[in-house]
Amino acid sequence: MFNKIVPRSEDYAKWYTQVIRQAEMADYAPVRGCMVVRPYGFALWENVKEQLDSRFKATGHQNAAFPLFIPMSFIEKEAEHVEGFKPELAVVTHGGGKKLDEPLVVRPTSETIIGYMYSQWIQSYRDLPVLINQWANVVRWELRPRLFLRTMEFFWQEGHTAHATHAEAKEETLRILDIYTDFAVNEAAIPVIPGRKSESEKFPGALTSYTIEAMMGDKRGLQAGTSHDLGQNFAKAFDIQYLDANQKQQHCWTTSWGVSTRMIGAIIMAHGDDQGLVLPPRLAPTQLVIVPITPKNREDDKQAVMDAVAKICETLDGVRYHVDDRHDYSPGWRFNEWELKGVPLRIEIGPRDLQKDQVVLARRDILGRDGPRGGKTFVAIDNVANEVKQMLDTIQADMLKRATAFRDANTFEPTSYEAFQEVVEEGFARAWWCGDEACEAKVKEDTQATIRCVPIAQPDGAGHCIVCGAAAEEIAIFARAY
């Protein structure tokens, strides 16, 4: 551990991988493209899951589990869907020592198998809506893996709902987009932009895809969650019908939506710095680390410090804390480890602090003594719990402010295509777009940037397409992206 991490400015991709591996978040598996999520990374994922899951349940969704294996013929039933996913499939051809009659696909996503089950379960309008989510692993063949961002197997939740009307399905799609936005902003401290995907970027088989788009520390965009209005495409392919109140058969309207372990990558890249991870307090597996500093060969002092630590711990109800009592490691070594791991707050406490009835609070997001209040504060030992809780709230709020300021400082509104091509290398470009796929394709060819989304929040009025100059009614966000 503690090989030096390359600075972000020098090699961002290398920084990313080094931080993840040295902080023991994840590791590459022996199978190319696969990932092992180690306990520290998984604890972060568990907190992400808990926050999303409680929001899903509060809006009437239930969890279930659908099969890993999908008959190849199912994948082929929806034309756009098969075109989108066929190149990425892992295929089981043998089972129980025999060649299978029909190959089985390891699910890349579950619209097809769930569509089939819904066609069995849904009979009448009284059965609607069906609001189901599953937490699952999915597989998409991937030869250029990056931990959390692009791996052959990844973990996610996929919601699948069926409704009686298109209006209800649309409402559901946007309700979930709101949940994703709320989660990203208020839990992950990532100021995402909710918006609509362009036709060329939407989910294979969807009518309309919505997304939340975030800016990473290298100013690139990252899609952090998607919500799809599937229209009746899958209902027709899988015959999901219901008898309406007038005794007429109708096709359902379905949606699907997902957030994956990619969110972990987003958290790392939105907040990390050259010292390592910086985790938002609300999701951090450990919110506070207490580092007792005990002089060698002075057992009395050591005992007094450890007694004080024990007393502090008793007051820390509701705080996820850890005491690092590895006395044989130097304080500096221990500080480094927890900074690398992005623990939001640290308490340092030694004999001299005890004499003054105080401890040191050190923020991870502001290292050293920099920043408006300074990264380190002395607080009275009797008031530690209050100070810790307040400080965690402050850190959470400051992280969001900082990420928002960073994004805004790197978002440009170019007025010529020439200027556009320049600024899109440097961050997000907000620009009028006529809606023509040809303009979108030209941008991609000229700059490698894509339309991240057409934001839900649009300015008044209209303008001229940044590419072709034609009349345009919507602003789009263009950026190079993960």
- The SS3 of residue 253 is strand
- Give least dist CB 257 to a second copy, A: 17
Smallest gap from Cβ 299 to a second copy, in A, equals 23
Q: Which is nearer to a second copy, 127 or 201 (CB)?
A: 127
Judged by beta carbon, residue 238 or residue 432, the one nearer a second copy is 238
Shortest CB 260 distance to a second copy, Å: 12
Residue 390 has φ and ψ, to the nearest 5°, of -60, -45
- The nearer residue to a second copy, 156 or 378, going by C-beta atoms, is 156
Residue nearer to a second copy on the CB measure, 78 or 365: 78
- Nearest CA to 114 among 250, 235, 244? 235
Our CB check for a second copy shows the closer of 70 and 207 to be 70
Residue with the two structure tokens 């390359």:
6
- As measured in angstroms, the least distance from the Cβ of 418 to a second copy is 39
Q: Which two tokens stand for residue 149?
A: 């961002």
Give the nearest distance from C-beta 136 to a second copy in angstroms: 8
Tokens describing residue 102: 């029909």
Strand-strand pairing, 26-28 and 35-37: antiparallel
Binding stretches for a second copy (CB under 8 A): 27, 29-31, 34-39, 41-43, 45-46, 62-71, 74, 86-97, 103-104, 106, 113, 116-117, 120-121, 132, 136-137, 139, 141-143, 152-153, 155
Q: What is the DSSP letter of 127?
A: G
Dihedral of CA atoms 378, 383, 389, 394 in degrees, nearest 10, equals -40
Which of 24, 79, 76, 94 lies closest to 268, judged by CA? 24
In the complex, what is the shortest distance from the CB of residue 96 to a second copy, in angstroms, rounded to a whole number? 3
Least Å distance, CB 122 to a second copy, is 13
* Other residues' Cβ atoms within 10 Å of the Cβ of residue 414: 17
464: which 2 tokens? 């001229």
- Tell me the C-alpha distance between 256 and 136, whole Å: 14
Element holding 442 (H helix, E strand)? helix 437-447
- Measured between alpha carbons, how far apart are the two ends of the chain, in Å? 28
**Minimum CB–partner distance for residue 104 and a second copy (Å):** 6
**Shortest distance, position 155 Cβ to a second copy, whole Å:** 6
Long-range contacts for 382-386 (Cβ within 8 Å, ≥24 apart)? Answer: 382/357, 384/312, 384/315, 384/316, 384/347, 384/359, 385/312, 385/315, 385/316, 385/317, 385/319
Rounded to whole angstroms, how far apart are CA atoms 206 and 232? 9
Separation of CA 458 from chain center: 24
Would you say 65 or 457 has its CB closer to a second copy? Answer: 65
**Closer residue to a second copy (CB): 323 or 367:** 323
Report the C-alpha gap between 440 and 454 in whole angstroms. Answer: 12
Between 135 and 378, CB nearer to a second copy: 135
CB atoms < 10 A from the CB of 348, how many?
19
DSSP 3-state assignment of 221? Answer: strand
CB 242 → a second copy: shortest distance, Å? 16
Nearer to a second copy, 25 or 362 (CB): 25
The smaller minimum CB distance to a second copy, of residues 103 and 351, is found at 103
The one-letter amino acid at 40: Y
**Buried-state track 301-323, b at ≥16 Cβ within 10 A, e below 16:** bbebbbebbeebeeebeebbbeb
Report DSSP state, residue 7: P
